[in-house]
Amino acid sequence: MSMEDGDPANGPLMVLAPYVERELLATIDGLGELIDTDSSSVYTKGEDCVGTISNLESYVLSNRLILEECLSDLLRCLRREDKDTRIFTFYLGKWRVVSQNLIPLLKTYKHEQPIVNAVGKLVLIFSMPLS
All structural domains of the chain with their residue ranges: 2-31+68-127
Output the pLDDT for position 51. Answer: 34
| Neighbour tally for 86: CB within 10 Å | 19
Please give the span between the terminal C-alpha atoms of the chain, in angstroms, as a whole number.
19
CA 58 to mean position of chain CA atoms: 23
Each residue's pLDDT tens digit, 57-91: 443 445 677 788 889 999 999 999 988 889 999 99
How much is the pLDDT for 89? 92
Cα separation, 124 vs 22, in Å, equals 24
Q: Which of 117, 110, 93 is nearest to 28 (CA)?
A: 93
Compute the Cα dihedral for 60, 22, 122, 94 and give only its sign.
negative
Q: Could you read off the pLDDT of 18-65 as tens digits, one per residue?
A: 999 999 998 888 888 877 777 777 777 544 433 333 343 443 445 677
Tell me, what's the pLDDT at 117?
Answer: 92
Closest to 64 (Cα-Cα) out of 43, 80, 83 = 43
Residues 73 and 52: their CA atoms lie apart, in Å, by: 24
